[in-house]
Structure 1
Amino acid sequence: MLRRRAALTRLLPVLVLSLILGACTDGSSPKSPEAAPSSSAPVERPSATPVPAPEDRACYRLAFEDALAPTTAAATTACDGKHTSMTFAVGTLDTLVDGHLLAVDSQRVMDQVAEACPARLSDFVGGTLRDRRLSMLRAVWFTPTVEQSDAGADWFRCDVIAVAGQDALAPLTGRLSGVLAQPEGRERWAMCGTDDPDSPDFERVLCSQPHSWRAIEVVPFEDGRYPGVEAVREAGQTPCEDAGRSVADDALNFQWGYEGPSKEQWAAGQTYGRCWAPD
């Protein structure tokens, strides 16, 4: 007998949601104030010595809440020791628009970084988009503080982390560059669940932790407006049933689950669902 579990993903607090899903804003949230001079003349940066850009491939011991923050003052630590984040890219902010200097915490600047870091993560960890969506590796990013930006700092920093659960980061060990391009790397950082996705006890965890279900396939949607609850639910039925059957011991008696995006998650950047099966 086929048994199915179909659920829309439960809503998480928005900051935690963005981290766990590796998502970015759709630009519909209220914009942060943008600094604009009273004249149209180009703005010159202050002459104070800027804070130097972070070091690429540096490692840090970040707590879960640290990874949610827009800025950080955490000190580097040895990458061959215990750490929870690693810088995989450092870039330059574009804060000048038509000669006007934007605040580092303006929506336009934040959107720049929120787009750049996930894109660069794909080049760093490798694998396909599907591989990354079925893993617990995520990109987080940091910018200078407003005061540091006023002094001329114009960098942004992209770190890779591994989410270990609802509010924890996993230690990063071993080589991460190209890790999702290899079968053992995909398995090491794979996404599993403590229960089926429709259960109130469901929590995403690394497959190296105790678990009973595994994310096995992705159901993509076209970008655009949220298609609605019924359309999201319907879209996952056939592909997730097929995916569940493909990993089952008995093609006539198996379980499968579907976790589709809610409207809030869609707005946060998750325009896809996931198929699950007992593991």
Structure 2
Amino acid sequence: MSSHTTRSTWSVIATAIALLLSAPSILPANAAPADDPLAGAAAVGECRAYTIKDFESAHESSAAVDCAGPHTALVVAVKIVPKRVKLSGAPSAGLQRFVTKACNDAWGNAIGAGHKQGHLVVYTRSWFTPTKSQLAAGARWVRCDVNAYDDKQLGNLPPVTPFVDGGIDAGDRRCLTGKLNVVPCTASHQWISRGIVKMPDGRYSVARQDAFAKRRCPSAIQKRVDKRFLWWRVSESSWRSGERHITCYGNGG
């Protein structure tokens, strides 16, 4: 065999090896890409500027915005959901349990308020799941956000966390308008959150809560300035999850 033939033969072999090495990046037209459990997921630490309608939806896909500017949401956690937990359709009890476990610490750390203080602040929590197209791409995540109420819309969040650092100031504290919409106490309001009282265990009952609050809320309000009071009951779903705290509001400032 001539040296030319030898070189040609090795050239063919080298070309074949190169094609084999690059083959994994060349898929047949009908081949599907590998599932991505984080398909379409937001990044932790991103800020968003979505509306109350988005807040109440199962999915949210607005663009990230500068956290130094106005924003109504902060992404505090993104967690991959086990395959045994259903992600499509109405949220199952299993998914809700997973969200509680996956998001609670991140929510609490960002807001900076303990469980009892959490009833007295304007900040709230939300979570989202992938869209149908993201699920089709293999998405298996839940996203945990923090937000703030401001009457019939979401309010802008502080630029840094934790939002509550020690005592609750007027911008953090939860107040109510005359129509009982939640606002920060720096806005016009008629009721201010003063404290909480804890219901005893038992069956869920609106009447029981009302009777208990009438007896106990006077000990939580500021009697020198509050001439009247009202209370915020525990919802039935929160009662089932173990919540027993009723929030008491006074009208003194």
* Band the TM-score falls in, shorter-chain normalisation: 0.7 to 0.9
Q: Specify whether residues 263 and 172 from structure 1 end up closer, same or farther in structure 2 by C-alpha distance, changes over 3 A only.
A: closer
TM-score, normalised to structure 1, is 0.68
Of stretches 48-57 and 123-132 in structure 1, the one that deviates more from structure 2 is 48-57
Contact 1:104 1:110 in 2 (8 A): no
Displacement of 1:224 in angstroms is 6.0
- What is the one-letter code of the residue matched to 2:206? V
2:9 corresponds in structure 1 to none
1:249-264 paired onto structure 2 within 5 Å? 249=224, 254-261=227-234, 263=236
- Residue 123 of structure 1 aligns to a residue whose secondary structure is helix
Which of 50, 54, 69 does residue 62 from structure 1 map onto?
50
Q: 1:173 — aligned with what?
A: 158
**Cα distance 1:270–1:65, how it changes in 2: closer, same or farther (>3 A)?**
farther
Structure 1: unaligned runs, 5 residues or longer: 1-44, 196-200
Q: 1:79 to 1:267 in 2, by over 3 A?
A: same
Point out the structure with max Rg over C-alpha. 2
Question: Using the alignment, how far apart are the partners of 1:109 and 1:65 within structure 2?
Answer: 22
Q: Does structure 1 residue 190 correspond to structure 2 residue 173?
A: yes
Q: Does the 8 A contact of 1:53 with 1:90 survive in 2? A: yes
- Aligned-pair CA distance for 1:186: 4.3
Aligned-partner Cα distance in 2 for 1:179–1:68: 22
Instruction: Trace 1:39-118 onto structure 2 (pairs within 5 A).
Output: 47-48=34-35, 51-96=39-84, 102-105=86-89, 107=92, 108-118=94-104
Q: 1:223 to 1:57 in 2, by over 3 A?
A: farther
Q: Paired residue for 2:143?
A: 157
Q: Deviations over 1:98-137 (max 9, x none)?
A: xxxx444451335422553345311322222111111111
Distance 1:270 1:173 in 2: 28
- 1:134 counterpart residue number: 120
1:46, 1:150 within 8 Å by CA — same for their partners in 2?
no
Identify if the C-alpha distance between structure 1 residues 52 and 248 changes in structure 2 by more than 3 Å, giving closer, same or farther: same
Question: How many residues of Structure 1 are paired with residues of Structure 2 in the alignment?
Answer: 218
Q: TM-score, normalised by structure 2?
A: 0.74
**Contact 2:87-2:140 at 8 Å conserved across structures:** no
Matched, 1:231 2:219: no
Q: Report the Cα offset of residue 263 of structure 1.
A: 4.7
Kindly tell me: are residues 65 and 232 of structure 1, through their superposed partners in 2, closer, same or farther at Cα, counting changes over 3 Å?
A: same
Q: Deviations over 1:40-84 (max 9, x none)?
A: xxxxx9725562532111011101101111112211111111211
Q: Secondary structure at the match of 2:156?
A: coil
- Partner amino acid for 1:256? F
Distance 1:96 1:49, change over 3 A: same
1:240 corresponds to 2:225 = no
- SS of aligned partner of 1:147: helix
Alignment of 1:205 with 2:183, yes or no, is yes
User: Identity over the aligned pairs, expressed in percent?
Assistant: 24
Structure 2 residue runs of 5 or longer lacking an equivalent are: 1-31
